[in-house]
Amino acid sequence: MTRRVPINDGWRFTKQPVDAGELASVTDFEQVEIPHTWNATDGQDGGDDYHRGRCWYVRAIEAPHVKEGERVYIECEGVNSVANIYVNGAHAGEHKGGYSTFRFDITDLIRAGTNEIAISADNTHNEEVYPLYADFTFYGGIYRDVNLVITSPLHFDLCDFGSCGVYISQIEVSSERAELEVRALVRNAQKASRAQVVVTLFDADGVAVATAQTEGTINKSGSLATSLRVDAPHLWSTTDPYLYTCRVELYESSSGDDAGATDREPAAVLVDSIDIPTGLRFFRFDEEAGFILNGTATRLKGVSRHQDREGVGNALSREHQVEDMELIKEVGANSIRLAHYQHSSFFYDLCDQAGMVVWAEIPYISRTGTVDNYEENAVQQMHELIRQNYNHASIVMWGVQNEIGIFPDERPLHETVRGIAAVAKADDPYRPTTQAQVMLIDENDPANDETDLVAFNQYHGWYVGDTSGYETFIRRHRAARPSRSFAYSEYGAEGIITLHSDDPKVKDYTEEYHAKYHEEVMETFLKYDYIWGTYVWNMFDFGSDMRDEGGVKGRNNKGLVTFDRSVRKDAFYLYQSLWSPEPMLHIAAKRFVNRHTESIEVKVYSNQESVTLLHNGKQVEPADNGGGLPTVFRFTVTLGAGENEVVAKAGNLEDRTTFVRVDVQDESYVLPADERGKGILNFDADENIQNWFDKPADGELEFPEGFLSIKDKIEDIIANPEGEAILREHFDALLQDKRFKMAKRFPFETIIGFKPDAFPPALVQVVNAKLNKVRK
């Protein structure tokens, strides 16, 4: 029988990038335990200078007790991003890709007594390994569990791209019956054996509801498949995540020939067994109603998640992951985009148990490699993602790419997507493929049709324009593609809990704008049933060492919850009021205590029918909601001197806070201009540009047909010598920025939105007028 021996403790770690044969000379080892990353601090402090290189983990183990013929594997659930394993100095294998499980058979390398295991983890940039570039930290280390796995000579195959070797396909499922196929890959380390696979499906009470078996002769490896039927199945759903247990047992017969009865003979020996939680469900995506689960239209109320946290990096404990799931359930979400890579098997288990509809994806993000075999690693990681997670009921779609096409001179996007999507469909014909398009990709791009589903990452009201851009795109997409639904795979804004404003605006980084943004966006999204899903970017703030934005270095602050999980931002409660069935009530802007204006708006989020507000014990009449979200209640409160107590009530619910009237604005709530940071781009406005901020912008911008303007992509502007000269005259720092290659693909007005403090309106007007004189 297969058994696992955890070996997470007792490791010695060094950053010395030596070869395996030189480890004996290293003297600066430190003791660590797995999970571990060496970037828990420097990968979150900004500067884009965190340590990326080859590091070593070394551990002594005693040879495990094994019977004759048994096999020993080493199993790593996550090493970022290139791993090499040595046993007693001998190379066991290399794995490229930092987010999936892999195993190597080390039976022949283990010797009696004490053995040395050495694992190198290397997060150096490597053009052959994805991801290559992204807005998150590529933490290095062995950040998930390491185990020894001991099997019988005849066992379920553990080397099929890191899978468990058993695949349960839901061939046809309805409320009347479920038809399943169970396929087991079997590996044999001895002479040919007669093998039998017995499958039993148990309900949640442990009662067997279906059984089947199959048998065959296994030489070195083989596949055995059988079918199950369940009548009137209890279906898995977002509100009732019912799980059966599928027990798959492998027996070895005493005879290796093909003779014998089809029933298992008494002499057969149980050599391997696995229990797989199994949720039965059926679904489709409808052009009008969006996502249909078990015959019921189900709006996917989604959040995205990165697998890191403050001071920990990606070396998460199970307790960390449970806390994340509890917060996601608390906000009322029923779907998670697990971005931008394979997450731990434990977290996918939590999704099954919680009834979360999961978008699972590979780290094929931002750009493709420059090497000839640029697809090879993406294909490998797609195989691993699907085969390792094939049996999770929560997963309903496979993501093949995120924002490929953001850089110029890429291979044609539709060709790139087509190849990866074909791999996914070959591995799993029962789930759709999807992709997340960068803002540069519009509704008519042919790449949109290369996956079964399509979704868009857009940031109207943060990087570009205002939130009305969502409505504009939705209507434009519907007009162009009336027979196809779509989703929003990312949308969001930065919200920093120490910054506040009575008059929140784009790019002020306040918690109030963060909440206002999400209110406006949700007002739009809720109008359209054919949007099959929306995914907030992000559920949690996350590490991105390249960032310096909003006065915070090394972090993306778009989360509904802070990086350390200690604070739920106001926008968290907005979504809870819209999504959660649990009664809730929350006064917004509690952290905005000191108020310098006599009259303030008090917003209350609640999923109750009505809310009563008391100010210093006196009831306040509600203000007009303006036809906005029904869960947002507004009140105008006139503050008295000093402390003002505000209490909100709805049924048995109560929330309270205190606002303090002050004479002048509390400057600690305002982000100074010189602390805004560099954002996505690293250049600063020079003195000549800064002087333009003192000049007024007169008149309207014009965009004459056939002439250049700020609406054109930068690459198109600089392709014209006159256009390039205009940009270099005024914005040469932009053209010198190290991320300019990415910026070239965007319209100039989009780049202005990324960094408005570097583009004075008056100067933008002058530059646009000059461009208007240059023919395309």
Query: ∠58-60-62 over CA atoms, to 5°?
Result: 150
Give the SS3 label for residue 584: coil
> How many CA atoms, within 13 angstroms, populate the side-chain half-sphere of residue 52?
15
Question: What tokens appear for 186 in the block?
Answer: 């079997």
Ordered DSSP codes for 298-324: --EEEEEE-S-BTTTBT---HHHHHHH
**Rounded Cα–Cα distance for residues 683 and 340 (Å):** 27
Amino acid at 604: V
CB neighbour list of residue 81: distance below 8 Å, 6 or more residues apart: 96, 97, 98, 121, 122, 123, 126, 129, 138, 140
Distance from CA of residue 552 to its chain's centroid?
Answer: 22
Q: Report the helix count and the strand count for the chain, using DSSP H and E.
A: 13, 41
Ordered DSSP codes for 591-616: T--EE-SSEEEEEEEESSS--EEEET
**Rounded Cα–Cα distance for residues 142 and 695 (Å):** 55
Question: What tokens appear for 118 in the block?
Answer: 């050495």
**Options 75, 310, 375, 403, the catalytic residue:** 403
Q: C-alpha dihedral over 119, 124, 127, 129, to 10 degrees?
A: 40
Q: Is the peptide bond before 81 cis (omega within 30 degrees of 0)?
A: yes
Q: 61 forms bridges with which residues in the sheet?
A: 115
Question: What tokens appear for 441 in the block?
Answer: 């990709």
**Rounded Cα–Cα distance for residues 359 and 381 (Å):** 15
The Cβ of residue 313 has, within 10 Å, a number of other Cβ atoms equal to 27
**Rounded Cα–Cα distance for residues 456 and 486 (Å):** 8
**Rounded Cα–Cα distance for residues 585 and 64 (Å):** 56
To the nearest 10 degrees (0 to 180), the angle between helices 511-525 and 468-480 is 30
By the 8 A CB rule, do 533 and 302 touch? yes
Question: What tokens appear for 535 in the block?
Answer: 């995914």
**Rounded Cα–Cα distance for residues 320 and 20 (Å):** 33
**Rounded Cα–Cα distance for residues 379 and 387 (Å):** 12
In the annotation, is 403 catalytic? yes
Question: What tokens appear for 279 in the block?
Answer: 């949720």
Q: What is the CA radius of gyration of the chain?
A: 29
> How far is CA 762 from each of CA 627, 701, 754, 765, 768, rounded to the nearest angstrom?
36, 10, 17, 5, 10
245 burial level (CB within 10 Å; 0-12, 13-18, 19+): middle
CB neighbour list of residue 29: distance below 8 Å, 6 or more residues apart: 12, 13, 14, 58
By the 8 A CB rule, do 380 and 419 touch? no
**Rounded Cα–Cα distance for residues 750 and 440 (Å):** 10
By the 8 A CB rule, do 673 and 544 touch? no
- Point out the residues that are catalytic: 403
